[in-house]
Structure 1
Amino acid sequence: MTTDNIPAAPDPRRFWPDQITLYGVALNLPTTANAANLPFEGHLVRLSVVPIDSDDPVDPAVMVIAAIYGYAFEGQCYRFDKPKLLVFRPGVAGAPANGCGFEDLGYAMWQITKKTPVMELATATDLAEEIVLNSNLPGNRNPNTYGNSFMLGHRGGRLNRGGGNGG
């Protein structure tokens, strides 16, 4: 059996029955001034986590922005079809990845629970024609963006009951 199928052993000092182990790469590292760097058109788009009313980036051990490639849950390993860009507060500080085939590749792992708040950042790079225009064509939009029109049918075809006749 290869390590691709074996998740990392949980921390024996902390057992969480609903533990999820995330495998990925931290993007807000101290070497980049705690900012996630996303290349675009010869520039870097920087993302960082800052407290409200402050411009000082939060330490990645407290709040991390990471590209997550896979996870382990209840003894099974899973991989995403494409990386997810997630922001979360790890229950245990990131450590070198162990298990699920992610060791020796420079990946990190974080322990969270099912109730940990997580924000997914969706990024797409393409021409404006595709992202702005074509994505809004009928058939490409989310179903909840289409107008909903329906008619309510009431008993006897009346919108309200007439008063006084017991009906």
Structure 2
Amino acid sequence: MTSDDIPAAPDPRRYWPDQITLYGVTLNLGTTAKTANLPFEGHFVRLAVVPIGSDVPVDPRMMAIAVIYGYAFEGQCYRYDKPKLLVFRPGVPETPATGCGFDGLGYSMWQITKKTPIMELATSTDLAEEIVLNSNLPGNRNPNTYGNNMALAHRGGRLNRGGGSQG
């Protein structure tokens, strides 16, 4: 077995049977001088978590925004096909990553449980033609955005379609 297959050992002072170890990179660091940025059109997009009614960013140890490349659960390592941009409250402070092949590469790791609330942020960069226009063409939309007709209970022995006349 290589280190790619072995997850980091859990904290020996605490046992969580449903512990998940996330591996990735923090985007919301304490100062903007150290913040990882998302480049776009000659600018940087910087993300921050702020309390409602405030403009002061929350410490990343309290609420993290991170690009997650993989995770470990129940002694197994998993990698995402595409990194996920997640916002979550870490169970313990982030530490340098160990295990699952992330050792010594500048990655961090966090421990959370299965019941930790998480927000996934989806990002796409493309031309307006693709993101706005082509994504709304028939066949590319979610099924729930198409017009729905549903069969109603029978009246007089026949089924009627919703919105139609009783003829």
Hey, what's the Cα distance between the residues in 1 that align with 2:136 and 2:130?
Answer: 9
What TM-score do you get using the length of structure 1 for normalisation? 0.90
Which amino acid is 1:31 matched to?
T
Hey, what's the Cα distance between the residues in 2 that align with 1:118 and 1:102?
Answer: 22
SS at match of 1:148: coil
Which amino acid is 2:137 matched to?
L
Give, in angstroms, the shift of residue 157 of structure 1: 2.9
SS at match of 1:133: helix
Which amino acid is 1:142 matched to?
N
- Aligned pairs for 1:12-23 within 5 A: 12-23=12-23
Partner of 2:28: 28
Partner of 2:165: none
What percent identity do the matched residue pairs reach?
82
Q: Which has the larger radius of gyration?
A: 1
SS at match of 1:134: helix
SS at match of 2:131: helix
Hey, what's the Cα distance between the residues in 2 that align with 1:37 and 1:48?
Answer: 11
Superposed CA RMSD: 1.7
Alignment pair present for 1:68 and 2:68: yes
Which amino acid is 1:98 matched to?
T
Partner of 1:46: 46
- Aligned pairs for 1:15-164 within 5 A: 15-32=15-32, 37-154=37-154, 156-157=156-157
Give, in angstroms, the shift of residue 154 of structure 1: 2.2
Hey, what's the Cα distance between the residues in 2 that align with 1:155 and 1:127?
Answer: 51
SS at match of 1:139: coil
Hey, what's the Cα distance between the residues in 2 that align with 1:53 and 1:31?
Answer: 20
- From the two aligned structures, give the one with the greater helix fraction: 1
SS at match of 1:92: coil
Gaps of 5+ in 1: 160-167
Hey, what's the Cα distance between the residues in 1 that align with 2:158 and 2:141?
Answer: 36
Gaps of 5+ in 2: 160-167
Hey, what's the Cα distance between the residues in 2 that align with 1:36 and 1:157?
Answer: 66
| Offset from partner CA, 1:109-139 (integer Å, 9 cap, x none) | 0000000000000000000000000000000
Task: Work out the number of aligned pairs and report it.
Answer: 159
- From the two aligned structures, give the one with the greater strand fraction: 1
Alignment pair present for 1:5 and 2:5: yes
